[in-house]
Amino acid sequence: MNPRESAAFIASIAQDVKIDPLGIQNVAKEIVRAVECEEFKPNNLYIHSYPLPIDGEPASIEWLFVADVLNFSFWQLQEDQHYTVELKGIKYTGYMALCAALTKALEVNKEFFLCAGIPITTSTFYANITADDITKIFASATQPIPLPEDRLKNLQEAGKVLNDKFGGSFCNCVKQANQSAQQLLTIIVDNFPCFRDEAIIGGKTVSLYKRAQILVADIWGLFKGEGLGKFDDIDTITMFADYRVPQTLIKFGALQYTERLYELLNKNHLFENGDREEVEIRGCSIHAVELIRDEIEKNHRTTVLDAANLKLNSSMIDFFLWEYRRRFAKELARIPYHKCRCIFY
């Protein structure tokens, strides 16, 4: 099953996570309110504010690919402790710190030693990257980056696949997809094992594909849906199931947890990837966003959305929920999130 079908199935059998229709309406209303007062401008929302070294060129696709090969597991047990990287006077944390580290690696030597930076986005380099390289490139002023051995393995594996099958360039994967988000998604998960985010629940194999889908959406966003970023079926991409967006869904009542699950979360229980509770949280989050999207389209069309001829797809809604959690981090810190050390999110 694809992520949308998988999410609907997971929600139908979930034991510890439920979706509340009133909460779905609450989120839809909040998104529309934010659009109307221009707090949220989805017509300009094409990409996270990444510290990209190159914007809108094929080389930036190679940067995005490496970023999403490594886009996982940035949480810390303490809310005030973060993996942190400073770039050009700005301190970035979490995933954005990793993005800053990539750009810093490409630029820092050029700036200070008048020679080329570390070619971290070149497949021939990262196919043979070493543990020492990982330590150097992803150095932090605070907490070390989690799972460095897995990041090393992912980069080596991805580089080898690109070199062996795609001429050393992820752009070739994008071109082979023929402007189809689903075809690119298939190319990614079929050829790069580190993106194969699947689980077994209720006797069925389900797919969640957080990192693979966000890679597709990042390319679409960066190129504003044109050129290499043109995907005729981009609206088939779901939200990107992680450990932060559920906090926003809980806040608005769209998701509800059982007392048993809350007890585990409050104790900082470490879930294994594939545990039933972990799969339920992620799957129900995906399905909740699908329901939010449908609710907006059916019952909350506004003059603002109509004037822009804008359809809010799931990746846009995901961005709103993810950014909401960042904007109100202190308030939402009271809502526990599930913790799982794995390479998929």
Q: Is 294 a catalytic residue?
A: no
Res 72: pLDDT: 97
Res 114: pLDDT: 42
Could you tell me if 252 and 30 are in contact, meaning their C-beta atoms sit under 8 angstroms apart?
Answer: yes
- Give the C-alpha separation, 134 to 123, whole Å: 15
Res 54: pLDDT: 62
- Give the C-alpha separation, 50 to 63, whole Å: 11
Res 112: pLDDT: 43
Angle at 330 between CA 72 and CA 260, to 5 degrees: 70
Write the pLDDT tens digit of every residue in 180-213: 999 999 999 999 999 999 999 999 999 999 999 9
Cα separations in angstroms, 321 against 215, 224, 329: 18, 21, 12
Res 300: pLDDT: 78
pLDDT above 70 covers a percentage of the chain that reads: 91
- Give the C-alpha separation, 223 to 60, whole Å: 10
Could you tell me how many residues make up the chain?
345
- Give the C-alpha separation, 309 to 300, whole Å: 14
Pick out the chain residues at pLDDT < 50: 110-115
Q: How many CB atoms lie within 10 A of CB 202?
A: 12
- Give the C-alpha separation, 117 to 99, whole Å: 15
Could you tell me if 267 and 261 are in contact, meaning their C-beta atoms sit under 8 angstroms apart?
Answer: no
Average pLDDT across the chain, whole number: 91
Which value, in Å, is the radius of gyration of the alpha carbons in the chain? 20
Give me the catalytic one of 132, 242, 275, 306: 242
Name which of 234, 227, 193, 235 is nearest 211 in CA terms.
Answer: 193
Report the predicted TM-score, pTM, of the whole model to 2 decimal places: 0.92
Res 55: pLDDT: 61
Strand 84-87 relative to strand 90-93, pairing: antiparallel
